[in-house]
Each structure stands twice: as C-alpha cells, then as structure tokens.
Structure 1
Amino acid sequence: MVCIVGTRAEAVKMAPVVLELRKQPWADPVLVATGQHGPVVDEVLACFGLRADIPLAPPRRDDSLTTLTAQLLRQVDGCLRGARWRAVVVQGDTTSALAGSMAGFLSSLPVVHVEAGLRSGDLGNPFPEEAHRRMIAQVSALHLAPTPVAESNLRRDGLSGEATVVTGNTVIDAVVLAGRSPAAARDPLVRRVEAIGAPVVVVTAHRRENWGEPIARISRAVAELSLRHRELTFLVAAHMNPVVRSAIEAELRGLPNVLLPGPVAYAPFSRLLSRARLVITDSGGIQEEAAAFGLPVLVTRENTERVEGLEQRVARLVGTKEADIVAAAEEELALGYGEFAHSGPPSARPNPYGDGRAGERSAAACGWLLGHRDRPAEWRPEPVSGRSR
C-alpha cells in the first residue's frame, strides 16, 4: 500500500495509520512524501519514529495552485508506475491528497481517503480545500469518516453505505502520542514556557482566505488581549509561510508576554497545547487537537467543517473582526479553565472527534477493503450533557 503525505497536517494524521499498518502482515505500507511542505514533514514523521520510504523532489515554489497540482500529479504518477501496488491511501484535503487520489484512480488502484466527509458547504471557503475534499471523495473506494457528521455528509452526497467506515479522527491518536514524547519535554521552547509558569493562550493563523487584512485584525486582537491580560503568556506559533509570519509579527513584536518562536515542531507544540487555557486559531486540525485536552477554541473563520465542536460547544466561530475576537476571548477567560462548556475537568468531557484508536480502525478498514479481515466496528462519540452558556 502507498501512503501519501505532503504537508505537516497530513504527516500528523497519517502517522497513526502507517504505524498500525506496519503491524499487519498483509499491509507492507510504503510512505511517500511529495515535498509540498519540505523538511517540516520529515520532522513530524520523526516524532513518530517514521521516515519517508520514497521522498519525491519538492515542487517549484510559486503562487499558482494549478502549477503545484500539475507538478505533484506528475510526481506521484511516476512513483506509482512500475510497481505492483494494491491501494493508495491519502489524507484530508491538500493538493498532495488530491494529486495522490487522482494518480491512484487513473492507475486503476483503489483509493482510501482518511478523514473523508468534511464539508463546509462553501466551495470558496476554505479554498481550495473544500473543492479538493469533494473531488477526492468521487474517486475513493473507501471513505474513512472521522465522525458520524462526516458520514452523514457523504451519505448526502450519495457516497456512503458499505464504502464508509467511521473511525474517529487520527489526530487525537497523534497529538497525545507526540505530547508525551521525551523530545517534547526537552524542547527549549517548552522549558521556557514551563519555567514562566503562566497560563498559556495558543494562537495560530495561516489560512489563505485570511491572508492580508484578516490576519492583521487577528493579530491586533491578540495584541489587545495581551495588554489586558499580563498574567497570561500568548504563544503565537507562526506559519512557515514568510508572508503570513511577517504579517503576524508586525503587529505583535515587542509585547512582553507574547512569544513569537516562528514555526513550532509538532511534538513540543502538542505538549504546549496540553497545558494551554485557550486556543485562538483558523486551523482545522488544531480545532480537533485542542479537543483532546478539553480546551476552548475560538475559530477565526467565517465557517468551519469541524461542526462537531460547535454543536458540542467546545468551539466558537468568531470570524476575524478584532472586537469580536476580543469579546469572545474575554468571555472564555472569565469562565475559567475547566468551565468552557461543561462542568468538571477537561479530561471528563467527551471528545467529539475520537478516542485515540482511529489509526487502529483505519488499518483494519484497509484490511477489510483488501479482503484480509472482517469489517471493523465503527466509532461513535459519547453523548454530551452539560450546562449551556
């Protein structure tokens, strides 16, 4: 089986699947890295004791998504030729996932889609991910839906039935494993934050639709919050894209309780997330990762395909207006840690995204697709009951 990753998020979410596939005598997984996010993918894989079996040449850097898609499709197609693969496994909704699924389909190989069924309902937001995930679904032989909501999206598109298995989200497996790693505890940034001892607010911003003024507004909101709450440490984990990073740092540089470490490796980021009090992000994956630790999340987007967090009141959609972000953050900080949506400690809250066994179920579903084992039992979230706001 060929498992294709190209971005940091793909490496995170594919790692638990590859680790479980390696335990199966029938699987013999081969991990292919497309080079879309460069060395950061190698760093993430190393957190889990993995490395790419086939590293492809990084694509040329320009701003054209068309060019990137064409380059990756050509690269992956060349990788699939001349070998007797049995299936192609892709994750999520990136350009690498789209290229991998198309190349697999055009090579007459069954395509397995990890994290299938996410939908925002708006082709332009997030862009181009919403279109990617819909196109990948059309050529997939097996849809590994992370939640029942994702399964219902596939059913609405006419793609559910026996070809869909609800697994939980593999990011829950990954974030807990990475946060507990010895490398995370030794990281200098982790040691610095833990030495400060203040409660942490984790901030990220990177989505293409937020480039420009929206990211500037998010950053100004964080600046205002940092001035109001000097008892908190604001950890702003900037994206690797220099355009995004410079826009954020222009608004936040020089504030005493704001840390601007640039891109943070996955293992230390997971550990820091586990001790945070609040998360402000436009990332899809971090919405899920925060749920593993029972954290409140303010989503700085106009919509989100991670609707489970909204429905179970562990996340709030706040957009990118400064006043809205500040007001929502003040409300959540006033509630106090452990009181975001439900009474009781974070560990007692049901997680709407998974139970840490999604990699195991995903590998079992691949075995079922290829005729090596029975169809696995599906994951279902625990019912949630808690006080309303």
Structure 2
Amino acid sequence: MKKILFCFGTRPEAIKMAPLIEEGLNRGHDVKVCITGQHRDMIIPFLEFFQIKVDYSLDIMRENQTLSSLTSNLLSKIEIVLKDFQPELVFVQGDTTSTFTCALAAFYQKIDVVHIEAGLRTGDIYSPFPEEGNRRLVTPIAKYLFAPTEESRANLLEEGVTENVVVTGNTSIDTLRKTITKIRSGQLNDSLRERYKDINFKKKIVLVTVHRRENHGQPLIQICNAIKELASSREDIEFVIPVHLNPNVKECIHASLEQFDNVHLYKPLEYIDFSWLMYMSYLIMTDSGGVQEEGPYFEKPILVMRENTERPEGVSEGVSKLIGSDSKLIINEVNKLFDSCEYYSSFSKNKNPYGDGFASEKVFDYLG
C-alpha cells in the first residue's frame, strides 16, 4: 500500500484524475485528494457523480490575481498539505499552474512526482501560454511520466528523458467510457433530453467550445462571424455553445450570436451534460485540448480552431482537422462536412489515437 496525494484545480484535471483515484482506491492504496480551487464549483458536482471525497480544499482563487501571485500562494499552501499527509507519491495532471506548482512543492519535499499526460508539446513555449511552459517544467521534476500517446513519449525521449516513461492512452477516455455507460444504462438520457428541450434534435447539432487566450480578440470575432454566417445560411444546423465565463469570451459571443434562434448559448456545462451533447452532436468545433481527445471516442469530426496543437496525433490520424480561426475556412469546412457524406465519414473511419479507456489500470500496473 502506498500513500498517494492527487492534486488538481481545474475541471479538465478532475476529469482525468477521477479514474486514477478510483483505481488507486480499488487497489487498496491510502489515497487523499487535494483541490486547489480554480474551478471548485464546477469540480464538486463531477466528483460527487463519481463518489470521490475531497480531503483538502485550498481555495486559492483571488480576483485579478497574476500567475506569480497564484503560484506563490499555492506553493505555500500545498506545502502544508504535504507535511500533514506525508505522501509517497504526488499525482499531477497536464499543464496548469496547479500542475507545475504542486509538482514543485513535492520536489522541495523530496516526494516522487507522477505526471499524468506527460510529453505534450507544441514547440512554442508561449503557445499555449502558460501551459506549454508548465508541462515542460514538470518533466525534469517528475519521476514517473505517463504519456498518452507514442508521439508524446517520443517528445520526452527527444529531450533525453528515458526512465519511467510509459504510454497508457489518456485517462479522459476512461472517464468518458464510464460516463456514457452510466447514461445509457439509466434514466439520464431522458432527463438530459428534457433539460435541453429548446434544442431541435431533429436538426444536426454542432457543438462549439472556444476559450483559449490565443483566440481572444480578433480570432474570436472571426469565429463568431463564421457561426453567424452558417446560422443564417443553413436551416439544418443547431449550434450549441457553452460560453466560458471569461468576459473576453462571454461578451463577444453574446453580442455576436444571442439573436439567432438556432444558436443556443449556455453557461458552462457540467461534465455529464457536455459528454451527452458530444454524444448527440453531428460535429464538434473546439479549441479545447480535452475535447480533441474525447470527441474521437464518438467518431465525430473535430474541427480544431487553433493555429497549432499539442495533440497532433488526432490530425495525423485523420480524426480531427486543424483549421485556425479564419472565418472563410471555418465556413468552408462546416459546409463540406454537411454536404459531403464521403468527407464526413472519412473522419470516423480512423482509430482514436488517445486510448482504449483503460489507461488508469496501466498506470497502476506499472507503479505496482
């Protein structure tokens, strides 16, 4: 039995940590969960759905805080948790500021760090910012590096990291597999359909998520212009857009799109709702890293509205396409996917490169 601390702050981290926490408990380890506080209100309902108990809640968010103040505040608070629990392993996931800071705090206490989703790279340290820098900084601190794909593993080997590098697939697929199983086996499907009865499911659903810093400003305006044109010109589309709470995103999207009857703008959705909407969608437009991994599970085309991606496997395998934020290109791609069955089906013919839904078991098989 090992003493294991799971540290995370955002909902995407929680989604990818949940099956690992469950697996650790199932194998008899002494597991504690620490949430740092970025997405607390969004995380708690998700953790309750998976019956995960929070042992430490740090509540670090402050209005208008900088990355520096966030990092220093978290570093001092996580130190208290580490000294209280004294874990043998600290699990961190991905590339958030919580990921980097919790790994650094563990390193200062000479505690072994387990990095889940290691090895992702864009090659540009400022894109995405600060995520690319965070994940690069965690690499030399971590003792165990679980890469989601062979390409991620190759990135680490290229940097000279050779010990304890293991390809597992992405744990988000584990969570998605379990979630969809629960939806299909119970009454959730009917209740979700009732909850979103304003959406005309007889039409084809285009699910859109956009929030990244590099799309703020003119790129987001271009994306909204494309959606406006498509919503106006196509009667067979229903756009569904969970709107990020960042004012730079929220104000632009509402000003551009709230007047359209076939554009449905929602507050950020709970994980269960969003997973179901991916399941119900015809195609997905996104700048999210997590959605790039999860969408192919449903064999839906993924249009990635970014200039580059740290998840190139989806592009190379043909389950997603990198299109940036240019309005004309977005419009052309969506029209082509609606008008050409052959083009649409070409996305679903390819294997999901992000895993088989059993990554968590592979992680603990290796750790013993």
TM-score normalized by structure 1? 0.88
Structure 1 equivalent of residue 355 of structure 2: 354
Structure 1 equivalent of residue 177 of structure 2: 176
Runs of 5+ consecutive residues of structure 1 not aligned to the other structure: 368-389
2:150 pairs with 1:145:
no
* Residue correspondences, number: 361
Alpha-carbon displacement from aligned partner over 1:12-51 (angstroms, at most 9, x marks no partner): 11111111111112x2211110001221111222232223
Contact 2:60–2:73 (CA under 8 A) maintained in structure 1: no
CA RMSD, 1 decimal: 1.8
Could you say what secondary structure the match of 2:360 adopts?
Answer: helix
Rounded to whole Å, the distance in 1 between the matches of 2:77 and 2:188 is 33
The correspondence for 2:329, drawn from 324, 327, 336, is 324
Rounded to whole Å, the distance in 2 between the matches of 1:3 and 1:338 is 42
Structure 1 equivalent of residue 16 of structure 2: 13
Distance 1:203 1:217, change over 3 A: same
Deviates more, 1:63-72 or 1:29-38: 63-72
Question: 1:243 deviation in Å?
Answer: 3.1
Contact 1:202–1:278 (CA under 8 A) maintained in structure 2: yes
Alpha-carbon displacement from aligned partner over 1:352-371 (angstroms, at most 9, x marks no partner): 1100101111222332xxxx
The correspondence for 2:300, drawn from 287, 295, 302, is 295
Rounded to whole Å, the distance in 1 between the matches of 2:234 and 2:301 is 17
Structure 1 equivalent of residue 364 of structure 2: 363
Distance 1:183 1:142, change over 3 A: farther
Contact 1:178–1:266 (CA under 8 A) maintained in structure 2: no
2:221 pairs with 1:219:
no
Contact 1:114–1:144 (CA under 8 A) maintained in structure 2: yes
Structure 1 equivalent of residue 262 of structure 2: 257
Rounded to whole Å, the distance in 1 between the matches of 2:207 and 2:104 is 36
Rounded to whole Å, the distance in 2 between the matches of 1:42 and 1:183 is 22
- Spell out the pairing of 1:27-106 with structure 2 (5 A cutoff): 27-106=29-108
Moved over 6 A (4+): none
The correspondence for 1:24, drawn from 23, 27, 47, is 27
Rounded to whole Å, the distance in 2 between the matches of 1:119 and 1:284 is 12
Could you say what secondary structure the match of 1:36 adopts?
Answer: coil
Identity across the alignment (%): 37
Structure 2 equivalent of residue 119 of structure 1: 121
Question: 1:184 deviation in Å?
Answer: 4.7
Rounded to whole Å, the distance in 2 between the matches of 1:176 and 1:245 is 31
Runs of 5+ consecutive residues of structure 2 not aligned to the other structure: none
Contact 2:319–2:350 (CA under 8 A) maintained in structure 1: no
Alpha-carbon displacement from aligned partner over 1:209-243 (angstroms, at most 9, x marks no partner): 11122112111211111112221210011113233
The residue identity in structure 2 corresponding to 1:355 is: D
TM-score normalized by structure 2? 0.93
Question: 1:338 deviation in Å?
Answer: 8.4
Contact 2:176–2:275 (CA under 8 A) maintained in structure 1: yes
Rounded to whole Å, the distance in 1 between the matches of 2:229 and 2:49 is 35
The residue identity in structure 2 corresponding to 1:169 is: N
Rounded to whole Å, the distance in 2 between the matches of 1:193 and 1:274 is 17
The residue identity in structure 2 corresponding to 1:114 is: I
Contact 1:47–1:266 (CA under 8 A) maintained in structure 2: no
Contact 2:219–2:326 (CA under 8 A) maintained in structure 1: yes
Question: 1:199 deviation in Å?
Answer: 1.6
Question: 1:148 deviation in Å?
Answer: 0.5
